[in-house]
Amino acid sequence: MTDDLDTPVLDNHIHLDPRHGRGVDAVEEFVRLGGTHLLVVNKPSWHLGVEPDEPADFRPVFEETIDAVATANEVLPGRAWPVLGVHPGLITRLVDERGFAPAVARDLMCGGLDVASEFVDDDEALALKSGRPHYDVSDAVWDASNAVTRHAFELGADLDCAVQLHTEATEDLTDLAAVAEDAGLDPSRVVKHYAAGRLKGLTPSVMSRKDRLERAAASGEPFIMETDFVDDPEKPGMVLGPKTVPRRVRWLLGNGHDEAVRRAHVETPAAVYGIDTEATVE
Ligand SMILES: [Zn+2]
Q: Ligand 1 centre and the CA of 73: distance in Å? A: 20
Q: Ligand 1 centre and the CA of 282: distance in Å? A: 28
Distance CA 110, CA 178 (A): 20
Q: Ligand 1 centre and the CA of 226: distance in Å? A: 10
Distance CA 156, CA 190 (A): 9
| Cβ neighbourhood burial of 132 (10 Å; 0-12, 13-18, 19+) | buried
Distance CA 266, CA 8 (A): 7
Residue-wise pLDDT tens digits, 21-67 = 999 999 999 999 999 999 999 999 999 999 999 999 999 999 999 99
Q: Ligand 1 centre and the CA of 42: distance in Å? A: 8
Q: Ligand 1 centre and the CA of 254: distance in Å? A: 28
Q: Contact 142/132 with Cβ under 8 angstroms?
A: yes
Q: Ligand 1 centre and the CA of 192: distance in Å? A: 11
Q: Ligand 1 centre and the CA of 229: distance in Å? A: 7
pLDDT at 1 exceeding the cut of 70: no
Q: Ligand 1 centre and the CA of 194: distance in Å? A: 8
Q: Is the pTM of this model over 0.85?
A: yes
Residue-wise pLDDT tens digits, 241-281 = 999 999 999 999 999 999 999 999 999 999 999 999 998 65
pLDDT at 237 exceeding the cut of 70: no
pLDDT at 3 exceeding the cut of 90: no
β-bridge mates for residue 226, sequence order = 207
Q: Ligand 1 centre and the CA of 8: distance in Å? A: 22
Distance CA 134, CA 168 (A): 4
Q: Ligand 1 centre and the CA of 115: distance in Å? A: 19
Mean pLDDT within 134-158: 98
- Residue 2: predicted pLDDT: 63
Q: Ligand 1 centre and the CA of 166: distance in Å? A: 8
